[in-house]
Amino acid sequence: MIHISTWNYMKASQMDFWSLDRKKIIGFVVGFLSIPAKGRIFTIAVLAKYHNKGIGNNLLENICSVLKIKGAKEVGLEVRMSNFSAQKFYLKRGFIPVWVEKGYYSDGENAFVLKKEL
């Protein structure tokens, strides 16, 4: 029962954006509004051959805008400590590292938790 209501809540608050190139999915971002005023980005990815064309930035801006419209005052996400290119991408867009989540990933790697005020 708890599982079902959690799922409903997630479904109601979850949001995603997809980038398409002639009907083919080339990028997506998934996030949700958690407790009031807090947005969370689960994942963002763009197909490698479409990198550095502004698609990731567009996806990130879109989800941050919608989170803000829905009442989020800040947005947070996790990034692998080894993922330097994604860290650079987020830092250039105003995200700030706030702490390290030890063993966050299933392979045991630590995550930087990043936040940005909206």
Ligand X SMILES: CC(C)(COP(=O)(O)OP(=O)(O)OC[C@H]1O[C@@H](n2cnc3c(N)ncnc32)[C@H](O)[C@@H]1OP(=O)(O)O)[C@@H](O)C(=O)NCCC(=O)NCCS
Choice between 83 and 110, CB closer to ligand X: 83
d(CA 75, CA 55): 19
Q: Which two tokens stand for residue 95?
A: 């995200």
Site for ligand X in 60-79 (CB under 6 A): 79
Residue written as tokens 């799922």?
7
Q: What is the CA radius of gyration of the chain?
A: 15
Interacting residue with ligand X among 20, 45, 98, 100 (CB under 6 A)? 45
**Closer to ligand X at the Cβ: 33 or 46?**
46
Stretch that binds ligand X, among 5-13, 62-70, 86-94, 95-103 (CB under 6 A): 86-94
- Residue closer to ligand X (CB basis): 11 or 92: 92
- Does the footprint of ligand X cover residue 110 (CB under 6 A)? no
Residues with Cβ within 8 Å of residue 89, at least 6 apart in sequence: 56
Q: Give yes or no for residue 15 binding ligand X (CB under 6 A).
A: no
SS3 content of the chain, % helix, strand, coil (to 5): 35, 40, 25
Where on the chain is the footprint of ligand X (CB under 6 A)? 44-46, 51-57, 79, 83, 85-86, 88-89, 92
